[in-house]
Amino acid sequence: MRYHEEGALALWHDLRALDPMRASQVSTENPRRLIRALDVAIQGKMNPSKSESPRSDIHVMVMDQNREVIHQRIHTRVKAMLSSGLVDEVKQLLLNGVNPAGASFQAIGYKETAHWLDAKIRPLSELEAILLTKTRQFAKRQQTWFRQFDFAEWIIL
């Protein structure tokens, strides 16, 4: 892969030649985003405007709920993750040599549990609080991301 041979800066220069605006928004410190942006630029795909759908045959609908309901569902989900063996699963993954800095640990819960396991003496309630916070932040980022699209239809449940 070219990234490993020439580095992020070479890819960034290619992106700048193809799409200077996008290059100004992408850092060489984020290779995943840089590679994706270059791939999109090479394929000639254009980002849709914020006010019109990228394709006429697609209708974007965003399902939303009251924040209290979302937070309660997140709380229920985090409790279920912990009671279903998240800690044991992460322990086993680490014992099997899975790198906690790798992509497989980017899902909410895995990286935080690995850090919690390293500390060894913190109570489980602290891990639960961390998972609740991270999941709520993720839900908020999703809502914020969808708000940029004027063409999206919001459905309040």
Dump pLDDT digits (tens) for 84-99: 999 999 999 999 999 9
Contact between 74 and 48 (Cβ < 8 Å): no
Query: Residue 94 is inside which H or E element, if any?
Result: helix 86-95
For the chain, give every domain's residue range: 2-43, 61-156
Contact between 135 and 77 (Cβ < 8 Å):
yes
Q: Please give the share of the chain, as a percent, with pLDDT higher than 90.
A: 50
Give the mean model confidence (pLDDT) for residues 36-64. 74
pLDDT over 70, % of the chain: 92
pLDDT per residue over 19-29, tens digit each? 888 888 888 88
Q: Is 68 helix (H, G, I), strand (E, B) or coil?
A: helix
Residues 126-131 have a mean pLDDT of: 96
Gyration radius from the chain CA atoms: 20
CA distance 103 to 65: 30
Kindly report the CATH class assigned to 61-156.
mainly alpha
User: Are the beta carbons of 126 and 103 closer than 8 angstroms?
Assistant: no
Q: What is the pTM of this model?
A: 0.70
Residue 74 — very low, low, confident or very high, per pLDDT cuts 50/70/90? Answer: very high
